[in-house]
Structure formats: structure tokens, C-alpha cells
């Protein structure tokens, strides 16, 4: 899968010492990658949103998996809830492995590819 950067004002603004960058998957516009870089362009935090699940990495903590409040399927189908997402810790080794594989197999614009790859090697 290939990702491209969404150009937005939030990508250039420095918030709490961090720049937030948003990327979206070309093949599946429902898959997003959010990255936070510090002033030295070091990755501090990332979130991969796929299938209403969030694979999150934080420097010094590693990867955790969450699901969103939109994950539950009801009469209206997956993702029917709109508005902001709430994250809830979610133990699902298969889904976590799926997210890690997606990160490892995808192509990201530079400099993000090397930064993402670095999180997979720790």
C-alpha cells in the first residue's frame, strides 16, 4: 500500500513542541497514519487507523492496539457512528499483527518511511 501526505495547516504548526503529519492510503482512503515529530524531526508518536482500530506507538513504550467507538457493528453497519472517536484498549493479537504488517509492507513518502521502519525494529 502507498501513502501520501495530506497537506494541511496542522502539518506545519508546532503544538507542544511537536509537528503532526497526516497521511492517507492511496488504495484505501479509510486507512490513515498520523505521525508526531519533535523539533529535531525525531518520531515521538504514531497512530495507524485501519478498520476502526488504532495501532499506536509511543517512543519508549512500543505498540498498543485500540478500537474506536465506531468499531461495533450494529443494525447500521460498521462505522455508522459519526463524530469524534474514542479509543478503548483492545487485546487482539491477530489485529495487532495485521496493523504491524500493514506498516511494514507499505510505502511512505520521505522522511516518514525510515521513521516508521525504525519503530518496527525495536
What are the boundaries of each domain within the chain? 3-120
Mean pLDDT of all residues in 77-93: 71
Query: Beta-carbon neighbour count of residue 100 at 10 Å?
Result: 17
Among candidate residues 24, 22, 20, the one with its CA nearest the CA of residue 3? 24
Mean pLDDT of the chain: 87
How far apart are the C-alpha atoms of 110 and 20, rounded to whole Å?
15
Q: Given this model, what pLDDT does residue 121 score?
A: 87
| pLDDT tens-digit readout, 38-62 | 989 999 999 999 988 999 999 999 9
**Cβ atoms 116, 10 nearer than 8 A:** no
Amino acid at each position: 500500500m502507498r501513502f501520501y501526505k495530506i497537506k494541511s495547516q496542522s502539518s506545519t504548526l508546532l503544538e507542544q513542541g511537536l509537528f503532526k503529519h497526516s497521511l492517507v492510503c492511496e488504495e484505501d482512503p479509510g486507512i490513515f497514519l498520523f505521525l508526531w515529530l519533535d523539533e529535531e524531526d525525531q518520531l515521538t508518536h504514531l497512530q495507524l487507523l485501519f478498520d476502526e482500530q488504532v495501532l499506536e506507538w509511543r517512543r519508549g513504550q512500543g505498540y498498543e492496539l485500540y478500537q474506536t467507538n465506531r468499531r461495533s457493528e450494529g443494525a447500521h453497519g460498521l462505522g455508522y457512528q459519526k463524530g469524534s472517536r474514542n479509543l478503548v484498549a483492545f487485546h487482539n493479537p491477530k489485529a495487532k499483527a495485521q496493523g504491524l504488517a500493514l506498516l511494514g509492507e507499505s510505502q511512505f513518502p520521505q522522511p516518514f518511511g525510515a521513521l516508521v521502519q525504525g519503530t518496527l525494529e525495536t
